[in-house]
């Protein structure tokens, strides 16, 4: 089974500064990668996904992520954060079969005015 590591449990960042949220996964077999965002007491919303093709993936709200197979990483980045980006972010991995999703423990992003 996969394991997903989000090294930073909390990331504070000033408004309009860049941010990177890190994600590493355990297996180098064919995987599919996702980033989700969760606002308090709500479900998870998909930010972006990597299924195949270009290793640089662009998502909603100005976020992007880069798939690095050799380093088994899928870090999330945004060049300039807004107050509204304050939320919990989850990295997820799924393998070929069956379609199970493995989640990291989450990173709490706090944008400071």
Partner 1 sequence: DGGITQSPKYLFRKEGQNVTLSCEQNLNHDAMYWYRQDPGQGLRLIYYSQIVNDFQKGDIAEGYSVSREKKESFPLTVTSAQKNPTAFYLCASSLDGNMNTEAFFGQGTRLTVV
Would you say 10 or 80 has its CB closer to partner 1? 10
63, 34 contact by CB (below 8 A): no
Min. distance of Cβ 59 from partner 1 in angstroms? 11
Would you say 15 or 86 has its CB closer to partner 1? 86
66, 74 contact by CB (below 8 A): yes
Sign of the Cα torsion 39, 107, 33, 77 reads positive
**Six-digit token pair at 71?**
């380093």
Integer Cα distance of 33 and 24 in angstroms:
10
Would you say 70 or 97 has its CB closer to partner 1? 97
Among 29, 43, 54, 113, binds partner 1 (CB under 8 A): 43
Among 53, 54, 70, 99, binds partner 1 (CB under 8 A): 99
**Six-digit token pair at 113?**
């005015």
Footprint on this chain of partner 1 (rule: CB under 8 A)? 9, 32, 34, 36, 41-46, 49, 51, 90, 92, 94, 96-101, 103-106
């Amino acid at each position: 089974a996969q394991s997903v590591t989000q090294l930073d449990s909390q990331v504070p960042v000033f408004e309009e500064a860049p941010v990177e949220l890190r994600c590493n996964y355990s297996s180098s077999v064919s995987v599919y990668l996702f980033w989700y965002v969760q606002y308090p007491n709500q479900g998870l919303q998909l930010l972006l996904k990597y299924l195949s093709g270009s290793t640089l993936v662009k998502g909603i709200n100005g976020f992007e992520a880069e798939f690095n197979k050799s380093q088994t990483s899928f870090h999330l980045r945004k060049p300039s954060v807004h107050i509204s980006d304050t939320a919990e972010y989850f990295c997820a991995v799924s393998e070929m079969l069956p379609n199970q999703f493995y989640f990291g423990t989450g990173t709490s992003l706090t944008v400071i005015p």
